[in-house]
Structure 1
Amino acid sequence: MEGTKKTQLIKPRIRQILSKELPSGLISKLPKHWVQIGDVLILPLREEFLPYKREIAEVYAQVLEVKTVLRKGRILGELREPHYEVIYGDDTVTVHRENGILYKLDAARIMFSPANVKERIRMAGIARPDELVVDMFAGIGHLSLPIAKHCGARVIAIEKNPYAFKFLVENIELNGVQDRMTAYNIDNREFPGEGIADRILMGYVIRTHEFIPKALQIAKDGAIIHYHNTVPERLMPGEPFQTFRRIAREHGYEAEKLNELVIKRYSPGVWHVVVDVKVFKV
């Protein structure tokens, strides 16, 4: 209950303090929602707030007890890197605690979506201890750390971005899973393993279909692939499974849909979806 009361009191307190520094017309438009990753806050600020961004950030930091505040920006490029502006504090590296996992990351430069929490929790119970899991887009270990930590499965985590890879290695040590989790700093298309994985994680969006042939190459016959992608609402519920099955058939595999979940809204009219698919060599 204490957590609920604190949340209810935060917004009036922020408004009360800033009412002495901002024009009255802006007070009602102050951000009512934000993202907190460890002790770093990501705040969406519209253009009209920019002349007062430092004053606003300082108040949010004090009330919410964080060390650094970032202005939310866009996620760009193949490596899905955030472009966020530091508007209060200077240390953007933090440790986020969730479901018994420690995620160390640079919140200004590495993507971490609290909205994906249900999928990270789902991964904590998805695999058996005797499985070999290959995470093709590991990042800092978003999806594969829960598998290694809570399922006890062996994990190969592949991450192309050298900066994200640095935190992936640190997180493997932070969570004490060095004995069952191995990291590779390469493009997953260069990974040499064939027919080795009982389970494959494809936690990427927009272009994930381009990597399906490589996933099939890595998979054992009967492996399960957790295939993420972004899908226009008008193409659901057929997609994204139809595209996965078409590409699988082109490469001599049949695909069976086991489960499908909507992760979150990606943009207007577009959803981030994950499909659990079992694949068989024809």
Structure 2
Amino acid sequence: MPRKSRTQLIKPRIREILSQELPEGLVQLLPKHWVQIGDVLILPLREELEPYKRRIAEVYAEVIGAKTVLRKGHISGEFRETNYELLYGRDTVTIHVENGIKYKLDVDRVMFSPANVKERVRMAKVAKPGELVVDMFAGIGHLSLPMAVHGKARVIAIEKSPYTFSFLIENIELNGVQDRMTAYNIDNRDFQGENIADRVLMGYVIKTAEFIPKALSIAKDEAVIHYHNTVPERLRPREPFETFQRIAKEHGYEAEKLNELVIKRYAPGVWHVVVDVRVFKQ
């Protein structure tokens, strides 16, 4: 069943059940949108619904078919960790299938944004068979698994968090790309490879500029770097490329902007942007 029509059926059923139990007026405050990762549901709940949150979560789980429900929180910290409240169920580990890729993760502790799906699909298309990709912030393989599975690229995936790294290893095996994907549980600044990558992934935000010198050292001449960062609306369109270009020049590289895409709104007035940059050694 198409997602839209299924959602149109789900909402009335949820309201029908909860209208029998919630005080008058609160039914209209029930979430109209939610995020589903595998069989785990992430539900935004208003404060007015606090006394009924567990029953609401139970009903959503039963109607939608989820094993666990988390209350939407915030993603923060070096490892982009989540901060959710467990409302229903116990098991937060799931396998999310998207574009033919299996992503195993702990939704309660590991960041995965369904809103980034277009970029994950795009990475599957830009990768070329046999080229070497270095993913500096691999996570569970968000961006690099599509490149290995669909693009047939060779991938070096670097992930600093030991917990997230455990899922990266599982996902490489789940998707059968052990022959062309190698993972390292280290800080990417400790990675020894230089002048080796045809393509570099920088799927991080906020402080990504600090890692540009390392990306340049990993990249070959004329390599493409996919540079992600968060940018206030007032600084666009000159940023984030202007900062990348300046740092590249300081390290003896010229930078050519090939493409720029907005991934999603990160915060009010702030956008998550990716710039595709080709770099040339001077």
TM over 0.5: yes
Q: Partner residue of 1:226? A: 226
Matched, 1:281 2:281: yes
Alignment correspondent of 1:106:
106
C-alpha distance in structure 2 between counterparts of 1:153 and 1:124, whole Å = 9
**Counterpart check, 1:24 vs 2:24:** yes
Equivalence for 1:206: 206
Distance in 2 between residues matched to 1:263 and 1:3, nearest whole Å: 22
Q: Distance in 2 between matches of 1:39 and 1:251?
A: 46
Q: What is the TM-score with the length of structure 2 in the denominator?
A: 0.99
SS of the residue corresponding to residue 146 of structure 2 reads helix
C-alpha RMSD over aligned residues? 0.8
Mapped partners of 2:54, 2:128: distance in 1: 49
Equivalent in the alignment of 2:8:
8
For residues 164-243 of structure 1, the aligned pairs below 5 Å read 164-243=164-243
What's the CA shift for 1:4? 3.5
Distance in 2 (CA, whole Å) between partners of 1:90 and 1:183 is: 29
Give the TM-score of the pair, scaled to structure 1: 0.99
Could you tell me how far apart the structure 2 residues matched to 1:92 and 1:52 are?
21
Residues 71 and 84 in structure 2, CA contact (< 8 A), matched pair in contact too: yes
2:122 matched to which residue of 1?
122
Q: Which amino acid aligns with 2:260?
A: E
Which string of whole-angstrom CA distances, capped at 9 and with x for unpartnered residues, describes residues 180-222 of structure 1? Answer: 0000000000000000000000000000000000000100011
Q: Which amino acid aligns with 2:244?
A: F
Counterpart CA distance in 1 for 2:49 and 2:163 is 32
Alignment match, 1:138: 138
AA paired with 1:106? Answer: D
Contact 2:231 2:240 in 1 (8 A): yes
**Secondary structure of the corresponding residue to residue 126 of structure 2:** coil
Measured against aligned partners, the alpha-carbon deviations of 1:117-149 in whole angstroms (never above 9, x if no partner) come to 000000111111121000000000000000000
Which amino acid is 1:99 matched to? Answer: N
Counterpart residue type for residue 35 of structure 1: V
Quote how far apart the aligned CAs of 1:2 are.
5.0
User: Any idea what the Cα deviations from partners look like across 1:7-61, whole Å, max 9, x if unmatched?
Assistant: 2111111111111111112110111011000000000112111111100000000
Specify the code of the residue in structure 2 equivalent to 1:140.
I
In structure 2, the partner of 1:261 is 261
Count of aligned pairs between the two proteins = 282
Rounded to whole Å, the distance in 2 between the matches of 1:3 and 1:194 is: 45
1:151 paired residue number: 151
Report the secondary structure of 2:95's partner residue. strand
Query: Which range moves more in the overlay, 144-153 or 43-52?
Result: 43-52
Letter in structure 2 aligned against 1:168? L
CA deviation after TM superposition for structure 1 residue 244, in Å: 0.4
Letter of the structure 1 residue corresponding to residue 241 of structure 2: F
Structure 1's consecutive aligned runs of 4 or more residues displaced over 3 angstroms after TM superposition are 1-4
Structure 2 gap ranges (5+): none
Matched residues in 2 for 1:142 and 1:105: separation? 11
Range moving further from structure 2, 80-89 or 15-24: 15-24
The one-letter code sitting in structure 1 at the alignment partner of 2:192 is P
Cα separation, 2, equivalents of 1:206 and 1:50: 32
* Equivalent residue, structure 1, for 2:97: 97
Give, in whole Å, the separation in 1 of the partners of 2:271 and 2:236.
9
Opposite residue 258 of structure 1, the aligned amino acid is L
| Distance in 2 between residues matched to 1:236 and 1:254, nearest whole Å | 21
Provide the residue aligned with 1:246 in structure 2. 246
Residue 160 of structure 1 aligns with which residue?
160
Distance in 2 (CA, whole Å) between partners of 1:146 and 1:6 is: 28
Where 2:15 maps in the other structure, the secondary structure is helix
Amino acid at match of 1:243: T
Question: How many percent of aligned residue pairs carry the same amino acid?
Answer: 78
Distance in 2 (CA, whole Å) between partners of 1:188 and 1:248 is: 18
